[in-house]
Amino acid sequence: MDPLIASVPGSLSAVERVDVAALLARARDGDTEALGRLLESQRDRLRRIVKVRLGEGLRRFLSTSDVVQETHRAALESLQRLELSSEQDLLAWLAQVATNRIRDQHDHYAARKRDATRDVPWPDEGPGPVEEALAAREPSPSVNAAGLEMAELVDDCLAELPPEYREVIVLRDYCGASWEHITAQLGDRSLHAVQQLHQRAWIKLRKLVLPQL
């Protein structure tokens, strides 16, 4: 299999699938382990989506783990209001919360134009119940040492692509979204145009990745 294709999360495998509705119901009843399992099922995908959308510039000020942690806390706060029935719904919601956070920080730092040498790390609030539940679980089987270096390289190169190229790959290959969903997200484009955009984006990504292998 093409190592670049294999390095992106792609569609959910049978191993990764969880009963979101059942775990959400248990979490609402105070089952911390259920909440941890629910969030852990998408943690690796969310981390990579956040890393790509942060880009190199914002990662000087805000770490990927900070955004993921804050997104998990938002899930805890919104638990009673969430209506999710599938992994796709869960990942889409988590990714949107994280993206909103990234946009807020982008606006903040763009407005202040702070010098990187004057900035201090984002304050660590310490682990909450969500982080403790996640820490108690084993790492996802989708992450292994053999593919980690390639995945990190692809994420870094993807973050350098123009926004429309970056987004079509994130939606299709990181979130596992359908072509219909991507077409709706990207606005005034036909399905065929979106598929062509995806192909061009991959050509650009390969040109960035291959010289560094």
Phi/psi for 187 (5° steps) reads: 90, -135
Spatial separation of the C-alpha atoms in residues 114 and 81, rounded to whole Å? 37
Question: Burial level of 140, CB count in 10 A (0-12/13-18/19+)?
Answer: middle
pLDDT band at 115 (very low <50, low <70, confident <90, very high): low
CA distances from 32 to 35, 68, 100, 123 (A): 5, 18, 25, 25
Query: What is the DSSP code string of 150-189?
Result: HHHHHHHHHHHS-HHHHHHHIIIIIS---HHHHHHHH-S-
Confidence of residue 124 (pLDDT cuts 50, 70, 90): very low
The answer to whether residue 47 scores a pLDDT higher than 60 is yes
Q: For residue 127, is pLDDT > 80?
A: no
Sign of CA dihedral 179, 83, 74, 48: negative
Task: Give the pLDDT band of residue 113 (cuts 50, 70, 90).
Answer: low
**Do residues 197 and 189 lie in contact, with contact meaning Cβ atoms separated by under 8 Å?**
yes
Q: Which residue would you say has higher pLDDT here, 72 or 121?
A: 72
Model confidence at 49: pLDDT above 60 = yes
**Which amino acid is located at 201 in the chain?**
A
How would DSSP label each residue in 83-128?
---SHHHHHHHHHHHHHHHHHHHHHHHHHHT--GGG--PPPP----
Between helices 87-112 and 32-58, what is the axis angle to 10°?
40
**Banded model confidence at residue 164, pLDDT cuts 50, 70, 90:** very high
Q: Where in the chain is the domain with CATH 1.10.10.10?
A: 1-10+144-213
* CATH no. of 17-141: 1.10.1740.10
Q: Where in the chain is the domain with CATH 1.10.1740.10?
A: 17-141
Tell me the one-letter amino acid at 193: A
**Does residue 189 surpass a pLDDT of 50?**
yes
Cβ-based burial of 106 (10 A; exposed 0-12, middle 13-18, buried ≥19)? middle
Q: Would you tell me which CATH number, out of the four given (3.30.870.10, 1.10.287.1120, 1.20.1440.230, 1.10.10.10), belongs to the domain 1-10+144-213?
A: 1.10.10.10
Kindly state the tokens that stand for 75: 């899930």
Confidence at residue 184, expressed as pLDDT on a 0 to 100 scale = 92
